[in-house]
Amino acid sequence: MWLKVVVILILAALFAPILVVIPLSFTSISYFEFPPPSYSTKWYSNFMGNEEWVTGLIRSLNAAFLTAIIATALGTMAATAVLRVRFWGKKLFMALMVAPMIIPVIIVGIAMYYSFSMMKLTDSMLGLVLAHTVLAIPIVFITVMASMKGIDRNLELAAMGLGSSPIGVFFKITLPLIRPALLSGFLFAFITSLDEVVVTIFVTGARTKTLPIVMWENMTTQIDPTMAAVSTVLIVGTVTLFLVQAWASSRSKSARLKHDS
């Protein structure tokens, strides 16, 4: 009983500051006051009517989508190699795959700025996507590897015994079984790119400002409820993505149980 109470209190402490942003985004005044004296949607209109905000949002979504695709593909291949292939230096390879999650992000940003500037990739969409991909790959790698460890290896061995190639086994047997993990990894990579600030500051410029960078620059000069409106849009979008992921995973699990029965 007490454990449940403690968990509820911890969750409330974590989510309360985030949930406060939502009513603040509907305030009718030009400064933050909680609770708002009256409500209005003018700050959402201000957000949608500002070209800099909208351009940053579109650029962030494009970069996040490309990052999620590349990170999911590379992370899945890396997880498959670790669990299905024997090679020298596997532990070192795994350490390198998760290194971007361990190394302080400011160090990663400085390193990317130095290397990308020599390759003329700063202030470009390609450089932005590559930088975000480096940060997102470890998440996909860990998610997919955890799912693949739960697969019955005998299913793959039986398919190979019946004449299927390793690539055929992966696409016909392994891939359908890890589909929920792929979707989870894709969404995690998408969200990682969408809200990344520190590394983005080092690799972007005037032509490639993402929404978090626009928010950060506006916070240094002025703070008005438009910031709360943008934050609410990101919160709702993130929650929606995770609800979709939970629905897809539940549907996949139900279909698997139905097939097994």
Residue 159 lies in a domain: yes
CA atoms within 13 A on the CB side of 36: 19
Ramachandran assignment for 45, one of left (phi > 0), alpha (psi -120 to 50 degrees), beta (any other): alpha
Residue 92 lies in a domain: yes
Q: Which residue has the tokens 């403690």?
A: 6
- Which residue from 115, 106, 75, 113 is spatially nearest to 197, judged by alpha carbons? 106
| Angle subtended at Cα 119 by Cα 196 and Cα 73, rounded to the nearest 5 degrees | 50
Residue 145 lies in a domain: yes
**How far apart, in Å, are the Cα atoms of 229 and each of 19, 41, 56, 72, 223?**
12, 9, 14, 30, 12
pLDDT tens sequence across 203-222: 888 788 888 888 888 777 77
Q: Which residue has the tokens 């939502």?
A: 22
Residues 210, 65: Cα–Cα separation, whole Å: 13
Q: What CATH number has the domain bearing residue 220?
A: 1.10.3720.10
| pLDDT the model gives residue 257 | 57
Other beta carbons within 10 Å of 29: 12
Residue 31 lies in a domain: no
Q: What's the total number of domains in the chain?
A: 1
| pLDDT the model gives residue 138 | 92
pLDDT tens sequence across 93-150: 888 888 888 888 888 888 888 888 888 888 888 889 999 999 999 999 998 888 888 7
